[in-house]
Amino acid sequence: MSAGIGVDLESLWIRFGDFVAVRDANVHIEGGDFFSFLGPSGCGKTTILRAVSGFLEPSEGNVLIGGKNMKGIGPNKRPTALIFQNLALFPLMKVWENITFSMEIKGASAAERRRRADELLDMIALPDQGDKLPSELSGGQRQRVAIARALCAEPDVLLLDEPLSALDLKLRQHMRTELREIQQRVGITFIYITHDQGEALTMSDSIAVMRAGVIDQIADGKTIYNDPATAFAASFVGENNVFRGKVKRVMGDEALIATNRSGDLVARISTANRGKLAEGDDAMMFIRPEAFAIAPEGATGDHFVTARVTHEEFEGNAFNIFTEGDGGKEIKVSIPNLGQSFKDHTGQNITLEYDARNAVVVPAGELAAE
């Protein structure tokens, strides 16, 4: 991949009055990467995007694009293009005029613009739609026109503010692949804002998980999923079962946790927290539903959990077993459907087994709201 223009946020603070929207964000975004900010709504990710695009001046800290400090440079002078959440296509202009608006500004001739518009329309697979108005297009087509309009400006960095949130599920999944393809074709840096972890995981080279203005973790999707740095990252990205307790003993990379309900359990300390957890600390242990297996009855030890089954469901590709868990939360266990016979356990006690490498311990912290 060509080395595109990178973006750096240096100790970025953004305040609105007393409210801190972004707290000390330090991010290095590699040129040519597909980088996502993932977090629940109101966590400050759109604010970061507006600071990068220049609509918002940071209260403290710097935004660097291609190593150049952007302080005092307006949105129309930055090498960025933003795709708005509601797309913001110009309603009175035809599709081709929309797409080539950035050329019109520079005084390009109509013929030149038309030619470029046709190229871009071909690229987004909407040939011969140039003379329509945006209101005559479907949601997915409008989406692609917005992308073409942004790309026409030939930005070094493309910023996308939850552009898929207005689309239906099927189209959203289709557009994910398409966006990723476009990004790899044009080879520029994409900064993508989303609250949908599926979008972030499937498309991104790197993800920053954000919570209430704070960046909890920056890593690639696999690391975030398997090795979360905080309780929030662990509970926000994908489904996860939480076990609360205290650290009883630290054994190298692993720790024995005295859980509130399920006895002493062993788990791997997440990479970011190695050496930071000491005996007696409040901790949270996370095990993914698919990391459990049903153990023979009566098995005991530090990687067995016994609990009463409240209900079960059949999801097609998996059987889901829900058992009583810690703090009113259920433990979800997902057993892949491989054609095996499946016994109903409702009302019974069940013993579950897991591999300590698949359980992760982080310091106790705020969980993602469900």
Partner 1 sequence: MNSSFLRISIWVYLAIFFAYLLGPLVIMSLTAFNSSSFPRISPWECLTFQWFTELFHDQRILNGIKNSLIIGAGTVVLSVAMGLAGALMLTQIWPKLRATYYTIIIAPILIPGVVLGISTLVFWDRINRMLGLGADSVLSNGVFLTVIGQSTFIASYCMLVLVARLQRYDTALTEAALDLGATHAQAFRKILLPFMRPAIASAAVLAFLASFENYNTTTFTFGEYPTLTIELAQKVRYGITPAISALAFIIVALTVFFALLNEAKLRRQELVAAARRNAMVQDLGGKIRLPSFFAGNMAAVLLVVFAVATITMVGTAAVYSPDQCIANVKEQKRLEAERRIQELRKQREEQRKQREAQEAEQGGAAQSAPKPSNNSGFGGVFAPGALGGGADAEPEAEEPPKGNGGFGNVFDPNSLSGDQ
What residues contact residue 168 under an 8 Å CB cut-off, 6+ apart?
A: 139
What residues contact residue 173 under an 8 Å CB cut-off, 6+ apart?
A: none
Q: How far is the CB of 30 from partner 1 (least distance, A)?
A: 23
The amino acid that residue 135 corresponds to is: S
The gap from C-alpha 291 to its chain's centroid, in whole angstroms, comes to 22
Write each residue from 65 to 84 as x if it is in contact with partner 1 (CB under 8 A), else as -, in one continuous string: ---------xxxx--xxx-x
Gap between the Cα atoms of 143 and 126, Å rounded: 11
Q: Which of 92, 111, 169, 278 binds partner 1 (CB under 8 A)?
A: 92
Q: How far is the CB of 280 from partner 1 (least distance, A)?
A: 51
Gap between the Cα atoms of 255 and 235, Å rounded: 20
Q: Which two tokens stand for residue 31?
A: 């040129």
DSSP symbol at 260:
S
Q: What is the DSSP string of 107-156?
A: T--HHHHHHHHHHHHHHTT-TT-TTS-GGGS-HHHHHHHHHHHHHHT--S
Q: How far is the CB of 96 from partner 1 (least distance, A)?
A: 14
Any contact of residue 367 with partner 1 (CB under 8 A)? no
Q: How far is the CB of 98 from partner 1 (least distance, A)?
A: 9
Residue closer to partner 1 (CB basis): 79 or 263: 79
What residues contact residue 36 under an 8 Å CB cut-off, 6+ apart?
A: 191, 192, 193, 194, 199, 200, 203, 204, 206, 207, 208
Residue closer to partner 1 (CB basis): 91 or 347: 91
Any contact of residue 139 with partner 1 (CB under 8 A)? no
Residue closer to partner 1 (CB basis): 61 or 75: 75
The gap from C-alpha 130 to its chain's centroid, in whole angstroms, comes to 33
Looking at the DSSP bridge assignments, the partners of residue 287 are: 241, 359
Q: Which two tokens stand for residue 311?
A: 């209900």
Q: Which of 27, 153, 179, 191 binds partner 1 (CB under 8 A)?
A: 153
Q: Which of 36, 47, 53, 183 binds partner 1 (CB under 8 A)?
A: 53
Q: How far is the CB of 5 from partner 1 (least distance, A)?
A: 16
Residue closer to partner 1 (CB basis): 165 or 320: 165
Q: Are the C-beta atoms of residues 12 and 48 closer than 8 Å to each other?
A: yes
Q: How far is the CB of 85 from partner 1 (least distance, A)?
A: 8
Residue closer to partner 1 (CB basis): 92 or 251: 92
Q: How far is the CB of 92 from partner 1 (least distance, A)?
A: 5
Which among 148-156, 283-291, 304-312, 329-337 is the span making contact with partner 1, rule CB under 8 A?
148-156
Residue closer to partner 1 (CB basis): 66 or 75: 75
Gap between the Cα atoms of 333 and 342, Å rounded: 14
Residue closer to partner 1 (CB basis): 49 or 266: 49
Give CA separation, 281 vs 247, 250, 364, 365, in Å.
5, 11, 8, 12
Gap between the Cα atoms of 315 and 320, Å rounded: 7
- Lookup result for tokens 């990178």: 6
Q: Which of 26, 86, 348, 349 binds partner 1 (CB under 8 A)?
A: 86
Any contact of residue 55 with partner 1 (CB under 8 A)? yes
Q: How far is the CB of 164 from partner 1 (least distance, A)?
A: 17
Residues touching partner 1, count (CB under 8 A): 24
Q: How far is the CB of 210 from partner 1 (least distance, A)?
A: 22
Gap between the Cα atoms of 120 and 328, Å rounded: 53
Interface positions, 96-135, toward partner 1 (CB under 8 A)? 101-102, 104-106
Closest C-alpha among 328, 241, 250 to residue 284? 241
The residue ranges that bind partner 1 (CB under 8 A) are 53, 55, 74-77, 80-82, 84, 86, 88-92, 101-102, 104-106, 149-150, 153
